[in-house]
Chains A and B, each alone.
Chain A
Amino acid sequence: MNKTVNQRAWFLVLPVLLLVAFSAVIPLMTVVNYSVQDTFGSNVFFWAGLGWFEQMLASERMWDALGRQIIFSLIILAIEIPLGVFIALNMPKKGFWTSFCLVLMSLPLLIPWNVVGTIWQIFGRVDIGLLGHTLAAMGISYNYTQNAVAAWATVIVMDVWHWTSLVALLAFAGLQSIPDAYYQAAKIDQASRFDVFRFIELPKMAGVLLIAVLLRFMDSFMIYTEPFVVTGGGPGNATTFLSIDLVKMALGQFDLGPAAAFSLMYFLVILLISWVFYTVMTNLDKRDGQR
């Protein structure tokens, strides 16, 4: 087919271009702007080159926050993905109880982040919180404001409580799409329960699970509100994740230059990881597309 060349067609992409410019490109450019300048106040800026980037790359503080961030994301993925799959596998397949479970599990997803933080902040307090008080009564030393391990445990359990449902719902959707014939064939082939999971359910869920991993990774990598409300990044810097550190730097200390360099690198890391996920997913689709 011959395509007609009409340069005026470019006008059709103009609205999108404007939208993206105002929603993403221009705000991002202001950050780029800050990242290469320095100021001593009175709104007077001068050129600083890549100095802030070099300083941030050499800064132990950023690397520590990054390390904590990666460990946090890996831990919650290691808990939420298997747990979500496990819940989906054990959910009722049809009838009233399916809807009941789905609604019950959606509830945590509907609660705003800072409310989740507040709930757990109170829940975990030793003086009035149900959890904190019970643990203290049982003789377990638990205080998330003083003990780093307790603080980490609280933040992780809170995230698992908040987001495992999402993984479970996605996995459940994946399971529901498997035709009955597969299970019947497995029965006839005398496959064990584990074989059914390994050879039927897991391959059929692979697509949605990858999306679940991507969503949970990105979201946990950018987590801010809940740990900020519960621990405020403490005790010490024990739960100071990247976003918390960034906000401290930008708004607490008003170090706009380093904070801008920091956020650009943060952005690039997220972009890189998303790209890797996207590539893996499209390759999976291609493999499926050959059917």
Chain B
Amino acid sequence: MARITLDNLAHSYLPNPSSEADYALKELNHDWVNGEAYALLGASGCGKTTLLSIISGLLHPSQGRILFDGQDVTDAPTAKRNIAQVFQFPVVYDTMTVRQNLAFPLRNRGADPAYVAARVSQIAAMIGMEAMLDRKARGLTADAKQKISLGRGMVRQDVNALLFDEPLTVIDPHMKWELRTQLKSLHHEFGHTMIYVTHDQTEALTFADKVVVMHEGRVVQIGTPQELFETPAHTFVGYFIGSPGMNVIDARIDGTMATIGSTQIPLGAAYRAGPGRVQLGVRPEFVRLATDGIGLPVRLRAVQDVGRHKIVRLDLSGQEINVIVAEGASVSADTNAITFDPSAINIYVDDWRIEPLDYNAGKVGS
């Protein structure tokens, strides 16, 4: 187990990157605290896997250093870093039995046979494959194979970090939940530093203590699930987390008031928006519907009942606005305006969130 430090790290797949756009992973400084579970969340191609490969040593970064417990391992090969990794698609040794597969990483490091046997049966119990230990891995189903991969990743107790690269892609939905829960309890039990790459927000939010959201090769926010929900640092976080994502509307800001079109919107705090594109972000959960025309004028487009709540789709001069209302509430066909909960409004300049001038003002308002 180790603290992992990324120092000034960046990577480009091109030999001579000239502009920032050439970098698959833009400059990054971060400490992965020992023993925490992190999720790397982002859309496909945002640099998650690149970052993971750099940490595991499968890829050498174009610049910067990576340190395990303060020790520079940038040039150390994968085997020296003592990490475990589980890949997106099951990687098993076909001709070995399940038992041999699980024992393989320990045997290669010259572990004591009695210890290997004990550890293998412990892991087998955890992944629920005790009955299949002596079967050849070749004939097993994809999710059984992926469980072997997970088991092989977890069989060593002294690893610096456990890395998961979308490991549950091939697993059945009900099994996914179970395995994720097991991973979490394993994390509590042994306290490994875990880094879990995924593009599934539910997976990220349920698994991790801290979620690292990546967008176009850049880390846009690192925070607890609650922070990501309440104060998305970037419009991408607002859009990517939540279902549906945050409503982002162009606005003009003047102190504690925002102007959208010709409507004034009170804010929970005062802002000073510098030059750039100013936007107002508010999650669908904090939008109220009105039939009296007071607020932003909208047109009702559709109501979707998703079971636990209703999603109301509205039209705000050509832009779609989503609102979540309780399952029991009725949505009037006369809905013609919306208002926002002032304390739940975030202000963005060029996609990045800006802090209110007096931070406490927002709290007082709520």
Residues of A at the B interface (CB closer than 8 Å) are: 179, 181-182, 184-185, 187-192, 195, 199-200, 203-204, 287-288, 290-291
Contacts and interface: CB of A to CB of B under 8 A. Distances in A.
A189 B105 contact: yes
A187 B77 contact: yes
B77 A288 contact: no
Interface string B36-66: 0000000000000000000010100000000
Interface in B145-170: 145, 149, 152
Instruction: Among B77, B88, B93, B138, find the residue whose CB has the most chain A CB atoms closer than 10 A.
Output: B93
A216 B262 CA distance: 82
Contacts of A190: 79, 105, 108-109
B72 interface: no
Interface of B: 56, 58, 77-79, 83-85, 87-89, 91, 93-96, 104-105, 108-109, 138-142, 145, 149, 152
Nearest to A187: B78
Given A181-B87, A203-B95, A290 B108 contact: no
17 contacts: A181-B87, A181-B89, A181-B91, A184-B56, A184-B87, A185-B152, A187-B77, A189-B104, A189-B105, A189-B152, A191-B104, A203-B138, A204-B94, A287-B139, A291-B138, A291-B140, A291-B142
Contacts of A189: 104-105, 108, 152
Contacts of A291: 138-142, 145
B56 A188 contact: yes
A183 B196 CA distance: 20
A222 to B, nearest CB: 33
Contacts of A203: 93-95, 138
Contacts of B104: 189, 191
A199 B152 CA distance: 15
Instruction: Among A189, A195, A200, A204, find the residue whose CB has the most chain B CB atoms closer than 10 A.
Output: A189
Instruction: Among A185, A199, A290, find the residue whose CB has the most chain B CB atoms closer than 10 A.
Output: A185
Contacts of A191: 104, 108
A185 B108 contact: no
B84 A195 contact: no
A191 B83 CA distance: 14
Contact of B89 (A179, A199, A288): A179
Contacts of B91: 179, 181-182, 185
A291 B8 CA distance: 44
Binding site of A, secondary structure by majority: helix, strand, loop or mixed? Answer: helix
A200 B92 CA distance: 9
Nearest to B155: A189
Nearest to B140: A291
A291 B105 CA distance: 23
A184 B163 CA distance: 13
A291 B140 CA distance: 5
Nearest to B91: A185
Nearest to A289: B139
Contacts of A184: 56, 58, 78, 85, 87
Contacts of B105: 188-190
B87 A185 contact: yes
A269 B196 CA distance: 58
B93 A199 contact: yes
A233 B79 CA distance: 56
Contact of B108 (A182, A195, A204): A195
Nearest to A195: B108
A185 B105 CA distance: 10
Nearest to A198: B95
B140 A188 contact: no
A204 B138 CA distance: 11
B116 to A, nearest CB: 13
B140 to A, nearest CB: 7
A21 B83 CA distance: 64
A291 to B, nearest CB: 7
A181 to B, nearest CB: 4
Nearest to B81: A188
A188 B77 contact: no
Contacts of A199: 93-96
Instruction: Among A190, A199, A200, A288, find the residue whose CB has the most chain B CB atoms closer than 10 A.
Output: A190
A188 B96 contact: no
A203 B136 CA distance: 13
B99 to A, nearest CB: 14
B138 A288 contact: yes
Instruction: Among A181, A188, A191, A203, find the residue whose CB has the most chain B CB atoms closer than 10 A.
Output: A188
A203 B139 CA distance: 13
Nearest to A185: B91
A132 B251 CA distance: 90
Nearest to B104: A189
Contacts of B77: 187
A179 B84 CA distance: 18
A290 B79 CA distance: 33
Contacts of B78: 184, 187-188
Contacts of B152: 185, 189
B56 A287 contact: no
Given A181-B88, A195-B108, A290-B139, A188 B79 contact: yes
A179 B91 CA distance: 9
Instruction: Rank and list the top 7 A-B pairs by shortest CB-CB distance, nearest first.
Output: A290-B139, A185-B91, A181-B87, A190-B108, A187-B78, A189-B105, A199-B93
A189 to B, nearest CB: 4
Contacts of B79: 187-188, 190
A206 to B, nearest CB: 9
Contacts of B94: 199, 203-204
A104 B84 CA distance: 41
A1 to B, nearest CB: 28
